[in-house]
A = this chain, B = another copy of it.
Amino acid sequence: MTTPAGRTDTRFSDGRRIVLSENQQLLNSVDTDTWDNAGYLITSARSVFVIGSGRSGLAAQMVAMRLMHLGLRVHVAGEVTAPAIRAGDLLIAVSGSGTTDSVVSAAKTAKKVSASVLAVTTTIGTPLTQHSDNVLIIPAADKQDHSADVTRQYAGSLFEQATLLAFDSLFQALWSYRDETAERLWERHANIG
């Protein structure tokens, strides 16, 4: 591709520079104590449910799959085999804006049945955080903020990337803490489908 006149940053290397530096800066700004505490909440729940919409939901599913490999009981909201959430369960509710209808509605239901809600979002003071017991702030832009003040990336991309990287960082810590071999976790991986 030749670059049209007047357009810049049209190469892969331009995008890479932005993606790497934004994630580096963002992840280094999160409150590590709340993440360590989240590790405790997740591993001590009866069952863990995750919910998110769009790409946030796909990132949440990547998190869910890894937690299953760790030996936890995990369900994805909307999955065919997901049962009712109940007292003692933990809902990881992922929404950059904190206003996604299905996610807020799930948080309300979780609270009503005395399950715990762990929000993953960009800011406090939203309908989601209002119905959450614990909040993990990833201070990226939410996907309806097109201002480019916080990120030069499109929509919620930075939030979605950082959600995956942060939970994989937490997984790495939990795995080290539980001290299981990779081979032991590997036995839990799906072998059909």
Residue of B12, B152, B185 touching A32 (CB-CB under 8 A): B12
Closest chain-B Cβ to A128's Cβ sits at a distance in Å of 13
Question: Is B154 touching A182 in the complex (CB atoms < 8 A)?
Answer: yes
Bound Cα distance from A88 to B114, whole angstroms: 34
Residues in chain B near residue A99, CB distance under 8 A: none
Bound Cα distance from A62 to B189, whole angstroms: 21
Residue of B nearest to A93 (CB): B192
Q: Range of interface residues on chain A?
A: 35 or more
Please report whether the interface of chain A is mostly helix, strand, loop or mixed according to DSSP: helix
- The reply to whether the CB of A51 lies closer than 8 angstroms to some CB of chain B is yes
Residue of B4, B11, B155 touching A173 (CB-CB under 8 A): B11
Question: 11 new A-B pairs (CB below 8 Å) besides A7-B177, A10-B176?
Answer: A7-B179, A10-B173, A11-B36, A13-B32, A15-B176, A16-B165, A20-B23, A77-B190, A78-B190, A84-B191, A109-B192
A residues apposed to B, CB below 8 Å: 1, 3-4, 7-16, 18-20, 23-24, 27-28, 32, 35-36, 39-40, 49, 51, 54-55, 58-59, 61-62, 64-66, 68-69, 74-85, 91, 101-102, 105-106, 109-110, 113, 144, 146, 152-155, 157, 160-161, 164-166, 168-177, 179, 181-183, 185-193
